[in-house]
Amino acid sequence: MIGLVVVSHSRRLAEGVAELAGQMAPDVRIAPSGGDGSGGLGTDYAAVAEAISRADSGGGVVVLYDLGSARMVAEMAAEEAGTPVVVADAPLVEGAVAAAVAAQGGASADEVAAAARAAYHAGATPAFAAPDTDPLAGAAGDAEVPAPSTEDAVRSDVVLTNDVGLHARPAALVARALAGLDARVLVRYGEQEADAASVLALMGLGAPGGARVEVVATGPDAAEAVRRVSALAARNFDE
Amino acid sequence: MGCGADEVVAALRAAAVVVAEHREELVRLDRAIGDGDHGENLHRGFSAVVSKLDGSAPATPGAVLKLAATTLISTVGGAAGPLYGTAFLRAATAVGDAPELDAALVAGALRAALEGVVARGKAVVGDKTMVDALTPAVTAAEDVAEGGVDVAAVLAAAAGAAEEGARSTEPLVARKGRASYLGERSAGHLDPGAWSTSLLLRSFAGGAR
């Protein structure tokens, strides 16, 4: 499983982002590295290198950073690391959450980094208008892949019978349940639709408890994808 | 006249003295358009380099530069740590295990340092960064090195061009680093990274004489 490192100028910021992302991905090693090593704001090369070792469980590490020099320190540490490291140019908070969920789903380092980068566009509505055509967190604007509104789509109406609807934890469960499936899955709520692979896009729908959403999937595993989402909802998302 | 490991050590010690003398000035420049830690960070880094040099005496100029690089990377912090660390590391690689540096090797080391800084920081001339000082310094060094002068003359030419380049950053609007968040308000201030590059090259030129 891919590990994550969160590099920030601030120790508390790094720890907070790691905590937030970890809530979505209980099995992913997330190592925060913040501050200059002596209690002040800054970045510390040795600490970042050490965090990469801590986060690595053999499969490689994806590093997220806050500001410019943190990127440089991360890139230097990545070059020197004894494990494959991808430094992701992504928003820190949304990117870390998206990366953690992708890593939890067993994605590769490149896929985890792509999920983090795609978080720039998730959350914003409609998620599918995002210009980024990343395959993992995908966008329906992609010309080569038919949008899931075509004839062969598998659809199902799902009622969110849990209390919080598609809030953070249920959204993470949905995204994780779809990891590894060869399917493009949309969740529609009212006029909005979200890529079901993106926790942030799902949360961005704002679908509350009691709401009825439509799940639309295309691709070879479309039926299985819809079945999994429906099953999660039927179990009240394990609440 | 060549330049062996002892001369490179002397140049780094001279740099540490200059950085200490200009610490407040660099702090002031960085406070105007950055996070204010540049002087403090460089002072900590070059003090650590001097301590390392006190404890060991690498045999070649390249080994001295590499020791400086790894020390700066682990002690300076901020953007300057990776940038100067990369510069010294590339310079060390460029000179290899040559026992003495001549004018061409010094010019080549400066070129390698510039390429490292550009690769690390992705800045170009006009972005209001140390690249604005280092780029003309390399060009000047290469120009005079072709004329068959000694190392001191190469470094003097580089230092002169670096100072001019650093001063040219004053009216610029920053496009890289923390100062870029200020937009137009970054104009009217010297870039602290360009200024420290100029100071370092000036100190090397002095130490090589």
Domain finish residue from A87, A118, A149: A118
Establish if A46 belongs to a structural domain.
yes
A103 and A141 share one domain: no
Look at B35 and A76 and tell me if their CB atoms are within 8 Å: no
Tell me, yes or no, if B45 comes closer than 8 A to chain A by beta carbon: no
A112 and A208 share one domain: no
Establish if A127 belongs to a structural domain.
no
A154 and A230 share one domain: yes
Establish if A193 belongs to a structural domain.
yes
- Tell me how many degrees the CA angle A187-A102-A169 measures, rounded to the nearest 5: 60
Look at A68 and B178 and tell me if their CB atoms are within 8 Å: yes
Residue A47: partners with Cβ closer than 8 Å, 6 or more residues away: A33, A35, A37
Look at A73 and B37 and tell me if their CB atoms are within 8 Å: no
Tell me, yes or no, if A43 comes closer than 8 A to chain B by beta carbon: yes
Establish if A112 belongs to a structural domain.
yes
Closest chain B residue by Cα to residue A42:
B78
Written as six digits, the tokens of B40 are 């403090």
Give the model confidence (pLDDT) of B139-192 as tens digits. Answer: 999 999 999 899 999 999 999 999 999 999 999 999 998 899 999 999 999 999
Residue B24: partners with Cβ closer than 8 Å, 6 or more residues away: B39
A113 and A145 share one domain: no
A19 and A106 share one domain: yes
Give the model confidence (pLDDT) of A161-218 as tens digits. Answer: 998 899 888 888 898 889 888 999 999 999 899 999 888 888 888 899 999 999 999 9
User: Which phi and psi (to 5°) does residue B98 adopt?
Assistant: -55, 130
Closest chain A residue by Cα to residue B79:
A69
pLDDT at A198: 84
Q: Which of A44, A46, A69 sits opposite B79 (nearest CB)?
A: A69
A168 and A111 share one domain: no
Find the helix packing angle between B103-121 and B131-146, rounded to 10°.
160
A34 and A112 share one domain: yes
A15 and A58 share one domain: yes
Shortest Cα–Cα distance, B58 to chain A (Å): 22
Domain count, chain A: 2
A79 and A182 share one domain: no
Q: Is A9 a catalytic residue?
A: yes
CATH number of B5-207: 1.25.40.340
- Mutating which of A10, A50, A69, A76 best tests the B interface, going by the most B Cβ atoms within 10 A? A69
Domain finish residue from A118, A140, A172: A118
Tell me, yes or no, if B77 comes closer than 8 A to chain A by beta carbon: yes
A137 and A61 share one domain: no
Give the model confidence (pLDDT) of A56-103 as tens digits. Answer: 999 999 999 998 889 999 999 999 898 999 999 999 999 999 999 889
Look at A76 and B78 and tell me if their CB atoms are within 8 Å: no
Look at A72 and B121 and tell me if their CB atoms are within 8 Å: yes
Reported ipTM = 0.75
**Residue A123 pLDDT class (50, 70, 90 cuts):** very low
A109 and A177 share one domain: no
A18 and A79 share one domain: yes
Decide if pLDDT at B99 tops 80: yes
Tell me, yes or no, if B81 comes closer than 8 A to chain A by beta carbon: yes
Structural domain span for residue A183: 132-238
Domain finish residue from A118, A150, A173: A118
